[in-house]
Amino acid sequence: MTSTLALASALIAQPSVTPADGECQNLLKAQLEPLGFECETIVSNGVTNLWARHGSASPLLVFAGHTDVVPSGPIEKWTSDPFVPTERDGRLYGRGAADMKTPVAAMTVAARDFIHAHPDYTGSIGFIITSDEEGIATDGTDIVVKKLEERDIRPDYCIVGEPSSLKKLGDTIKNGRRGSLCGQLTVFGKQGHIAYPKRAANPIHLAAPALAELAAEVWDEGNEYYEPTSWQMSNIHAGTGANNVIPGELFVEFNFRFCTASTVDGLKKRVHAILDRHGFQYRLDWNYSGVPFLTPRGSLCDALSRAIKAETGVTPELSTTGGTSDGRFIARICPQVVEFGPVTESIHQIDENILIADIEPLTAIYRKTLENLFL
């Protein structure tokens, strides 16, 4: 059993359903501290975070990841216990095998092997590890980044170990993510008997033309790296449960997945302008979980791409598709943030797994990226 496979298995054996960490970060500290890493545990509202750094020179490359996992779902539907790492048919099974305990293990072993081979390298290596990525993500990486900001620690590069490969290891690097902006819209009408519509004001009828306009709006054209911004309704509700009552309110939830061609303030203003033009009373509450971030082609993308090509023979594509990740927090203090990890096929599913044959190449890619940047 290789070092990465052994560490990944030990991590999977910890039932660290978000926001729990179990003993995962202690296992990582046991690997990092003998190498000379200074490790700091940062606890926030029951969430366990680890900030570790080896060296003090520039440039600083940070590996980022999470030890928490999503719930297993019905255990009886798993072929083997989700928290008992199991090798079967050339794959390692267990919750977190791909997302993302194996990448965390691979990063740790890659750093170890690099430091052993190049003890006098110029630069430093850091780790940001959280147990609050799969949950609401308010007490995890965001908290660590704020502490680093207070200390004026600003990484030059960051690799987030999220699963990024689509069909085979190395085919995709995520060099950015779209932002997410949510709205909760309440349209006010007047409740009444459905047989006497002139005595009421139907909020569904009032809002329908505006909602149709929002759905048809072109918010931007995207750019070289991003698809155009999208607006989608996720929930719409009105009514009292009776078919002879005009409701007094309509509730709509919607979401923007937006690219760097748009801004939070710009999108908000355009939505309000459309709603105001239709002249009904409403309340609109906003929240956003992160602005988009983008790392154009440059030193980090190039170093990682060369490492992937050397190890797998695959030329990776850059992509910004998918949901949000903790990269959105790190991008506040780090100019170059990318995500790279194993194939996404089984993540969050029953019988989550990773090809065992991909584990050592993944470790080697992380190590070779360090070599490409520091040597």
Look up residue 135 and give its two tokens: 């949950």
3-class SS of residue 4: helix
Q: How far is the C-alpha of 36 from the C-alpha of 39, rounded, in Å?
A: 9
**339 labeled part of a ligand binding site:** no
162: annotated binding-site residue?
yes
CB 107 within 8 Å of CB 115? no
Is 118 a known ligand-binding residue?
no
133: annotated active-site residue:
yes
Residue 237: Cβ-neighbour burial (10 angstroms; 0-12, 13-18, 19+): exposed
Q: What is the C-alpha separation between 226 and 319, in angstroms, rounded?
A: 8
Cis peptide, bond prior to residue 34, ω within 30 of zero: no
Is 249 designated active site?
no
Q: Which value, in Å, is the radius of gyration of the alpha carbons in the chain? A: 24
CA dist list (Å): 361 to 28, 278, 364, 368: 20, 57, 5, 10
Q: Which two tokens stand for residue 159?
A: 């690799």
Choose the catalytic residue: 21, 68, 132, 352.
68
| Nearest Cα to Cα of residue 272 among 183, 179, 181 | 183
Marked catalytic residue, from 21, 132, 133, 358: 133
Q: For residue 208, what are the contacts with CB-CB under 8 A and spacing of at least 6? A: none
User: Would you state the structure tokens that stand for residue 299, as one six-digit string?
Assistant: 């030193």
134 is in an annotated binding site: yes
Alpha-carbon distance of 55 to 38, in angstroms, equals 9
Question: In Å, how far are 177, 189, 286, 295, 331 from 289, measured between CA atoms?
Answer: 12, 30, 10, 19, 14
Phi and psi, residue 6, nearest 5°: -65, -45
Angstrom distance (rounded) from CA 332 to CA 316: 25
Residues in binding site for Zn(2+): 66, 99, 134, 162, 348
Q: Which residues are catalytic, by number?
A: 68, 133
Q: Which segments are annotated as binding site? A: 66, 99, 134, 162, 348
